[in-house]
Every structure is written in structure tokens, then in C-alpha cells.
Amino acid sequence: TREQFAYMISEIWPNTPHPSLRRRTPLQAAQAGDGETFLRGSVRQMEALHDEPAKILDWNGLRSKLHLSPEPAIDPATVDIDQLHLSRLGMVPIDGLDDDRLLALYRQSTKWGLRRIRNQAGRVIEQRPSLMLRGQIEPITLYGELALEAAQEDDRAMAEHWLTRGRQAESPQKRSAHALAWEMIGLEVRMLLDEPDEWVPVLAVILGRCRGNQEAT
């Protein structure tokens, strides 16, 4: 629960010895004044685990406890995405990025498996359609991930919206070539939203069709 997580981070973690701090606790390292880089990165990484971190914990209160200043704001007009620490990528004001920085954020978050940030960037890229071509981003990749994220959040309408938008964004040739892949993404969405007795028959149909195609070749 949120309460348990908040307690672990605010009370247990600061008093737990850590190998990277020479077996000292975060509070001991903070008092010694020689663990700022590790402590700052650790707090930011924990904060970045949540979409709405302020509802979990008073993060600046935790920083104060560890003798850390608040994280400085990021200027979207000047930020160097490729040089920014991964723990701070989630602090980037995505809507304020120009096209080059937005694509850089999408690439960087994809490279490091930061799905939430990648999808946040993807939603902004979707509003600037020329960037998908420029960034060589396949619609099935961008929209498929957005559909799965919506399904994980139990938002069926939004998941179906992204699936539809993704198919519409492809050329007829690509849509035909990706037909099976779109079906599998749609199946994954159903697996997240529905009970097995609803999606297992769909899986059986897809597998049967694939088996038939293999036998015909």
C-alpha cells in the first residue's frame, strides 16, 4: 500500500546500512557529508517510481532529513537529454520540449526501459505526427505501447482508442503486414482487461489461423 511504501522509504530505508555507503546508513552518510551523489540519486529514483509521487511522500522533507537541497528544476529549452541523469528524466517538462529534445527523450527512455516516461513522450509525439516519420517510430510500436498502458490502468475505452489510432496511422501496406501483430496486441489488451474465458477462444482462433498458414506454405 501507499502507506507501507511511505513508511519504508521515510523510516526504514534511511536507517538501513547500504554497501554503496560503506555499510553505513543513509542518515549516517548524510551526517558525514560524503554521500550526496548516491543519496540524491537514490531519492530521485524512488520518487520516479510513481506517477503522482507527491501523494506518496513529502520528498523534499526526506531530502531535508538527509541534508539534501530540493532537486533543481529542468529548463526544457536548454536541457541536454542525453547527458541528464536517468533518475531526472521524469522531471523533464515534456510539453515544453522542442522536436529534437522530444525525440531524444523518447529514444533515451526506450533505451533504458523507462516505459512510463517513454509513453508520456509518445503521447506528445502523437500530437506532432511528422515526428514519427522523422524519428523512424513505427505506429505499431508507439500506439501499441500506449494501448497496453491504458489496459494496465483498466481503461478499456482508451486502449481501444490507441489501437484504432495506431491502425489508422499506418499505410494500407504496413497495416496488412502488421495484421497479426495488431491482433496479438489486441489480445494482450484483452488479457489485461478480461477473464480467461473471454480471451482464450480468441487466442485459439489466432493460433489455428497461424497453424493453417504454416501448413499451406
- At a CB cut-off of 8 Å and minimum separation 6, what does 54 contact? none
| Distance, CA of 58 to CA of 65 (rounded, Å) | 11
Is residue 217 over pLDDT 80?
no
The confidence band for 53, taking pLDDT boundaries of 50, 70 and 90, is: confident
What does the pLDDT average to over 179-195? 96
Contact status, residue 115 vs residue 106, Cβ threshold 8 Å: no
Is residue 75 over pLDDT 80?
yes
pLDDT at res. 211: 77
Residue identified by cell 512510463 is 116
| Ramachandran area for residue 210 (φ above 0: left; ψ -120 to 50: alpha; else beta) | alpha
The confidence band for 216, taking pLDDT boundaries of 50, 70 and 90, is: low
- At a CB cut-off of 8 Å and minimum separation 6, what does 118 contact? 106, 109, 110, 145
User: Is-above-0.85 flag for pTM?
Assistant: no
Among the residue ranges 4-8, 47-51, 120-124, the one predicted with the least confidence is 47-51
The confidence band for 86, taking pLDDT boundaries of 50, 70 and 90, is: confident
The confidence band for 166, taking pLDDT boundaries of 50, 70 and 90, is: very high
Half-sphere exposure (Cβ direction) of 26: Cα atoms closer than 13 Å: 23
Catalogue the long-range contacts made by 18-21 (C-beta closer than 8 Å, 24 or more residues apart). Answer: none
Is residue 49 over pLDDT 90?
no
